[in-house]
Amino acid sequence: MFCKFIHKRFSTLSLAVVGSGPGAIFTAKHLMKKHTNIVVDFYEKFPHPFGLIRTGVAPDHQDVKNIEHEFSHILSLPQTKFFGNVIVNKDTPLNLEILKKNYSAVLLAYGAHGDITLGIKNEDCKGCFNSRNFVNWYNSSFDRISNDKIILNKTEDCVIIGNGNVAIDIARMLSKSFEDLKQFDVGDDVLEIICNNTIKNIHMVARRGVNQAAFTTKEIRELHGVKGLNTYIFEDEIKNSFEADSELQVLPNERRQLKRKVDLVKSFDMINNVNQIKKDGRKNLFLRFLNRPKEIISDNTGTISEIIFNKTKLIKGQAVATEETTSIKCGLLFKSIGYKSHSIFDTVDFNSKSSVIINDKGKVSENKVISDNLFVSGWVKTGAKGVLDTTLREAVDTADTINKQIEGGFLKNKTPNYDEINSLIAKSGVKPISFKDWEKVSNYEIEEGKKKGKIRDKVTDINKVFELIKH
């Protein structure tokens, strides 16, 4: 279907994509289904494509990471080009103006790579991490924090604030053993640190009740099933969750799903206080509800030692703090309260409250004027919510909008001037990495992994990347 010959001779419709994660690739894929002659070029800040599939999705979720095969097919098509290691923003020589000059349309799909803060005292003291930092670290992302900052062997208690699926990933990674993790693409250095953690008690704390839990049933079931982990709930928090929720409005089609999730949570061991836990040497997960973080206390070394919470009550599904407080002593905190996006071009209308590019079905406005040739997809369109299926659905929505623009004759044919583009990239002082280049690195990782009995052994040093591709 995709013919190199046709593309080279006659293709003039072109799309520049900022980012190469699922939002970018799903949109391109659906666009290319209808327009087989469109040229699609991906500009990606990391040397590798696929965004959070490599740096976010947990190593023991290889079934999800397998989508890389489908994505690799797209990036191998003759009408697509991958410019890895090339950041695009208002300050880079390759900016929006240049992309618009060279391409029929531009798609912004640069995801959500910022942190949300709690806004409470001491939240950045030693031992406190944003989920993104910790996830990037265990996934050996090129922008990970250094190993010496990850000290997991000085405390028996850690708190995770938030109970979304990222919180579940973190709890699972901290609970699994070397035997559980060694076959995946976890770096040797990460394996050593994470599997030698001294954490005995993981307190996952949500400000709302059981009915509002952000995790999905599949993920909480998986965590519940981790060997060597006891799972507990607190009787008063469960009781208060339901009493307060007597007016809970749930759509009939969601009721069964919610019931399944709640029933699963209720099957955890119910306790009234931590003294009732089994003394069997296993790790413990405490699924806590109705507690909102108030303050973090640090010790004389500046390390977290305790978190104070306001007990909350639910009003119309929202957590309202009461005067009553409780506290958890701990030496580690993971703030797993979501990711947020940011604006990279001043002219593109951005809603800084919801951290998304303002759009109508993927169509973007610049300085409040709807643009004919500027689009958005992925988490920078929707906010940092949703599994891959959600990102796929939204990408199809954006692809449909671009299609309409093409069919309506609103997009001008443009063949990118690669001399200009390459010279601007060179001006930034970076060497771009093509998809063929990246495949060499990826194949090397797989081969090195095989020697160690794991799926892949990730390269983490950019110099090694260039050595492997011999630029």
Binding site for ligand NAP (CB under 6 A): 118, 161-167, 169, 206-208, 212, 214, 219, 293, 336-339, 384-387
- Tell me if 346 sits within 8 A of 368, measured CB to CB: no
Which residue in the set 36, 89, 298, 428 belongs to the binding site for ligand FAD (CB under 6 A)?
89
19 binding ligand FAD? (CB under 6 A): yes
347 burial type by CB count under 10 A (0-12 exposed, 13-18 middle, 19+ buried) = middle
Instruction: Write down the least CB distance from residue 375 to ligand NAP, Å.
Output: 22
Phi and psi at residue 59, to the nearest 5°: -60, -30
Helix (H) or strand (E) holding 230: strand 229-234
The entry of ligand NAP, ligand FAD, none near residue 88 (CB within 5 to 8 angstroms by kind) is ligand FAD
Closest contact distance (angstroms) between CB of 387 and ligand NAP is 4
**Least Å from the CB of residue 133 to ligand NAP:** 13
* 3-class secondary-structure state, position 321: strand
Among ligand FAD, ligand NAP, none, residue 206 binds (CB under 5-8 Å by kind): ligand NAP
State which residue, 55 or 211, has the beta carbon closest to ligand FAD: 55
- Cα angle, residue 208 at apex, residues 205 and 209 outer, rounded to 5°: 95
* Residue 28 interacts with ligand FAD (CB under 6 A): yes or no: no
Question: Please, is 26 exposed, middle or buried when counting C-beta atoms within 10 Å of its C-beta (0-12, 13-18, 19+)?
Answer: buried
Measured from the CB atom, the residue of 99 and 319 that comes closer to ligand NAP is 319
From 83-91, 224-232, 347-355, 433-441, span contacting ligand FAD (CB under 6 A): 83-91
Q: Are 378 and 17 in contact (CB under 8 A)?
A: no
Q: Which two tokens stand for residue 451?
A: 């020697």
Q: What angle do CA 92, 94, 100 make, to 5 degrees?
A: 130
Q: State the binding string over 34-73 for ligand FAD (x if CB under 6 A, else -).
A: ---------xxxx----xx---xx---x--x---------
By C-alpha distance, which of 36, 32, 18 is closest to 348?
Answer: 18
Mapping DSSP to helix (H, G, I), strand (E, B) and coil, where does residue 20 land? coil
Residue in the shown chain whose Cβ atom is closest to ligand FAD? 21
Does residue 204 interact with ligand FAD by CB under 6 A?
no
| C-alpha to C-alpha distances, 374 to 101, 105, 107, 108, 341, nearest whole angstrom | 12, 6, 6, 8, 18
Is residue 18 a contact point for ligand FAD (CB under 6 A)?
A: yes
Side chain identity at residue 15, one-letter code: L
User: Could you tell me whether strands 350-351 and 356-357 are parallel, antiparallel, or unpaired per DSSP bridges?
Assistant: antiparallel
Residue 362 interacts with ligand FAD (CB under 6 A): yes or no? no
37 binds, among ligand FAD, ligand NAP, none (CB under 5 to 8 A by kind): none
Nearest distance from residue 389's CB to ligand FAD, in Å?
7
Angle of helix 67-76 relative to helix 435-452, nearest 10 degrees? 150
CB of 216 to ligand NAP, least distance (A): 6
Binding site for ligand FAD (CB under 6 A): 18-24, 43-46, 51-52, 56-57, 61, 64, 87-89, 109-111, 113, 135, 166, 169, 339, 344, 378-379, 386-388, 391
